Amino acid sequence: MSAPKKLFIKTYGCQMNVYDSERMAEALGGEGYVETKSADDADMILLNTCHIREKAAEKVYSELGRFKGLKAEKPDLKIGVAGCVAQAEGEEIMRRQPLVDLVVGPQSYHRLPEMEAKARQGEKVMDTDFPEEDKFEKLKNRPKAKRGPAAFLTVQEGCDKFCAFCVVPYTRGAEVSRPADRILREAQDLVERGVREITLLGQNVNAYHGAGPNGDLTLAQLIWELDKIDGLERIRFTTSHPNDMQDDLIEAHGTCAKLMPYLHLPVQAGSDKILKRMNRSHTAESYIRLIERIRAARPDILISGDFIVGFPEETEEDFQATMDLVEEVKYGTAYSFKYSTRPGTPAAERPQVDPAAADDRLQRLQALLTKQQREVQDSMVGREVGVLFEKAGRLPGQMVGKSDYLHAVHVADCTREVGDLARVRIVSSGANSLAGELIG
C-alpha cells in the first residue's frame, strides 16, 4: 500500500476561508491526501487567499517566492492558489509565477480532485468560474473523524450590496443561500462528531433566504430549526449587514437560549456623508436606533463592529462623527483598518486621504476601541458565564474556552475536559482574556 500524499494548506483572511480550507482538505482527502503542518513535507501546497486587506496579492506572490527552492528540490510538488486572490488575478498569477500548477476560485474548489489529476499529468489548470452546481453537494461527505467542540458552517455566500470599497461581489459573486435541509444535515453530522457550538457563516449572513419545505427561510427561522438539534448547545452567526437585521432575528436574540449574546454588526463609519460614499445604504442614526432595539431584546448582548478610517474624502469632522458613534454604542470588541484601494472598486478612483492623517485617525480610534473593550472585560469580573472548553492551557490543570460573549476564559485547577460546557465565575480580567473558577 502506497504512503498517503501530504497536503499543506495556508489560510488567509476570514472564517469563511477557514471553512473553505476544511472542505478543500476533505475534497483532496478522497484522493488520498492527508494534511501536514509543514510545507517542507508536502506533496501539494494550497494557499487559500483573501483579497480584503491591503497588498493581498503581493503577499501571495511573496509567499510563492519562498517555495521556489522547495519546488526545485521536489519537482513533483504541486502548488495551487485558491480563494479570492485566485478569483481576481488567476491569469496574472499563472503568468507571474510559473511554479503555480493550479488556480481555483472560491466557487469552484469542489473541482479540486479533477484539477489535481490534470496537474499530476503536467497540465497547468485554472478554474475561476461561477458554476451552477452546488459545490457543497458535489464534495464528498465529511470524514467521520472526531471534531473539536466548535465549528464553522457556511450558509450563505456572496453579496449584492456593492459597498464602494469591497471586492466581495466580484470575487464571491451574487448572494446565494444554501437550502435549509442541507445545512441541517451538515449541522447534525457535526454534532454527531463532537461539535457543540456552530457559527453560521456568510458574507452577508443575515440576508439568508434558503429554501425550506414551505418556502424560503430567514436566518432566524433557520436558527430555530438548528435549535431543535439535540447536542447542539450554542449558535452564533457572522457577518451581518445592518440593513438585513430583520425583526424576527432581533427577537430571536431575546428568546432563543442557544443563540449566544454576541453580535458582529459592522457600521464602517459614523459620518452619513462617508456612509453614502461607501454605498452602505444606512445612516449613523439608523444604525444606533437598530442597536437600541437589539439591546432592548437582549440587554446583555456584546456588540462587535468593523471600521474603516481614511476613506476617500473623509475629513476630520467625518472622523469625529465615527468617534462619536463609538462613544454612543460602546463596543465590546471591534476591528478597525485604514482604507486601502482595491482595483476595480468605485472608491479606488476617488481622491485619497493623506496617509499620515489616516494613520493618526486609526491610532485614535483604536485607542478608544481598546479602552471600551477593556471596560467590557473588566465588567465581567464577578459574573457567572457559560464556558465551552476547547483546549488545555499552558499550565498544568488549566483549561481554556470561550464564554457566551466570545471572551477567551482560562480556568486553573480545572476538572473538565475539551468539549465540556460549564458554569464559571470570572475572577480577573487580563489584556485579552479572562480568568475564572468553576462553579460547583
Residues at the binding site for [4Fe-4S] cluster are 14, 50, 84, 159, 163, 166
The per-residue b/e assignment along 248-287, b for 16 or more CB within 10 angstroms, e otherwise, is: ebbebbeebebbbbbbbbbbbbbbbebbebbebebebeeb
Distance linking the first and last C-alpha atoms of the chain: 52
CA angle 333, 337, 340 (to 5 degrees): 160
CB contact burial 26-56 (16+ within 10 A = b; e otherwise): bbbbebebeebeebeebbbbbbbbbbbeeeb
State how far the Cα of 183 lies from the Cα of 180, in Å rounded to an integer.
Answer: 5
DSSP-assigned states of every residue in 42-53: -SEEEEEE--SS
| Separation of alpha carbons 269 and 272, rounded Å | 8
With a CB cutoff of 8 Å and minimum separation 6, the contacts of 99 are 64, 67, 68, 71, 79
User: What is the rounded CA–CA span in Å between residue 395 and residue 96?
Assistant: 47
Question: Cell numbers 462553579 correspond to what residue?
Answer: 439
Judging by beta carbons within 10 Å of its beta carbon (0-12, 13-18, 19+), is residue 415 exposed, middle or buried? exposed
User: What is the C-alpha separation between 106 and 207, in angstroms, rounded?
Assistant: 20
Under 8 Å between Cβ of 421 and 404: no
DSSP three-state, residue 409: strand
Binding site, annotated residues: 14, 50, 84, 159, 163, 166
